[in-house]
Amino acid sequence: MTVGCSKKQDNPAKSIDTTSTVSYIDTLSPSVLLKHPGGLCTQSDFDRIKGKVSLGAEPWMSGWNKLISNSHAQTTYLANPTTKIIRGGNSPEEPLPDNYGNAMNDAAAAFQLGIRWKITGDATYAQAAVNILNAWANTCTACSGDPNVSLAIGIYGYEFAIAGEQLRDYSGWAPADFANYQQWMLKVFYPGALAFLQNHDGCNTKFIWGNWDLCSMAAVMSIGILTDNRSMYNYVINYFQHGTGNGNIFNLIPVVYNDQGLAQWQESGRDQGHGTLELALLEVICQLAWNQGDDLWGFNDNMILKGSEYMAKYNVAFLEVPFTTVNYITDCQGDVGQLTSISSSSRGTVRPMWAMVYNHYVKIKGLTAQYTAMGVQTTQPEGGGGDYGSTSGGFDQFGFGTLLFSRD
């Protein structure tokens, strides 16, 4: 079952206490250049993957076959750009109906085609991906809708930015067109994503669920990388550690059970569809930062690993997990309620997200991830957009982790 984001509801807003034992990450001067390509995979990653696929090695080969069988990964795929990306349509803010499906499908296609180019070296795939991105940059001028438009700005903002970053070293992408694409991201997505993190639609900063913050954080960070703006990138590194909203890691993961190697998520008491979305989006931020030299994965004694274990133990192993009652903000004005138990709603939600977190902690850092490993086993080979249904939940993350992140 896949579940996407939905409108803002009553939201947890309790943060665990921080202590002097937390080692915070310092940001670098805005003048320090960012690393490119700086998407989810570096060029050395693609070189490693290419070698595995050329040998027919598993599980990479299964992941490759999953990719090339996806309808979005074909050179015959045609872009469907719209003047406005609408999420939250048929509303007072936007009378026209939703059309964000065009953006989510096209971003997935550009990403998947870009991977095929990186691994095969066949420029036909790169050009097909660039054609999609250029079409959007030359057509789309705005995102629109009721408050749900923030989800479109965040999710498709980060996905279009990563798809573009992955292709930045393709020699066939004319410099003028790439510059135009960068400006499109800066005009259509960045202002709204930043504004959301700064003012949260004028509401109490902890009213809005954590996945909303994470969407915008991923967008700001990836657009910063795409446009060589370290100040934008730094904003998210700082927000992750010190932000006022629920994208702050201490609000997002409010309770850590160190004796059990588990950590409770902000939306665990809401439902598991959105709880798993928090992990899927947080992985994007951590991986982007990792490829720039910042270890958010390891922050505060690998608390995200403990969060992954919690999520997998409940949703994959179907075992019970501890739950601590947490306060939450019930409305825009800041009234307080409580979440008293973990939610069984959407328990067992499937997202292509386990391979990335597992391979980082187990294969790169040499740690143990018992339940996350079960997530890998039950979803391998991971697919991507188009493999998990036609609704937004199947496109909230790029996927293909078996191919992209598996390691010996």
Secondary structure element (H or E) that encloses residue 92, with its range? none
Q: Is residue 21 part of a domain?
A: yes
Q: Is residue 2 part of a domain?
A: no
pLDDT at 13 over 50: no
Q: Is residue 5 part of a domain?
A: no
Other Cβ atoms closer than 10 A to 218: 27
pTM: 0.95
The token pair that represents 268 in the structure block: 């665990």
The structure tokens 């739950």 sit at 323
Q: What is the pLDDT averaged over residues 97-120?
A: 98
pLDDT at 1 over 70: no
Number of domains, the chain: 1
Alpha carbon 385 to chain centroid, angstroms: 13
Tell me, what's the pLDDT at 9?
38
What's the pLDDT tens digit per position in 125-171? 999 999 999 999 999 999 999 999 999 999 999 999 999 999 999 99
pLDDT tier for residue 4 given thresholds of 50, 70 and 90:
very low
Contact 31, 226 (CB under 8 A): no
Other Cβ atoms closer than 10 A to 274: 26
The structure tokens 């964000």 sit at 100
pLDDT at 15 over 90: no
Residue 243, C-beta contacts closer than 8 angstroms, at least 6 positions apart: 197, 213, 251
Q: Is residue 209 part of a domain?
A: yes
Q: Is residue 348 part of a domain?
A: yes
pLDDT tier for residue 18 given thresholds of 50, 70 and 90:
very low
The token pair that represents 220 in the structure block: 């700001």
DSSP 197-233: HHHGGGS-TTSS-HHHHHHHHHHHHHHHHHTT-HHHH
Helix axes 272-290, 299-315, angle to 10 degrees: 150
- Output 328 or 241, whichever has higher pLDDT: 241
Mean residue pLDDT of the chain comes to 94
What's the pLDDT tens digit per position in 207-230? 999 999 999 999 999 999 999 999
Find the CATH number of the domain harbouring 17.
1.50.10.100
CA distances from 64 to 38, 357, 396, 402 (A): 21, 19, 20, 8
- Domain containing 273: what range? 11-405
pLDDT at 324 over 60: yes
Tell me, what's the pLDDT at 92?
98
What's the pLDDT tens digit per position in 289-315? 999 999 999 999 999 999 999 999 999
Q: Is residue 3 part of a domain?
A: no
CA nearest to 151, candidates 94, 196, 182, 106: 196
The token pair that represents 289 in the structure block: 């930062």
Q: What is the pLDDT averaged over residues 378-388?
A: 97
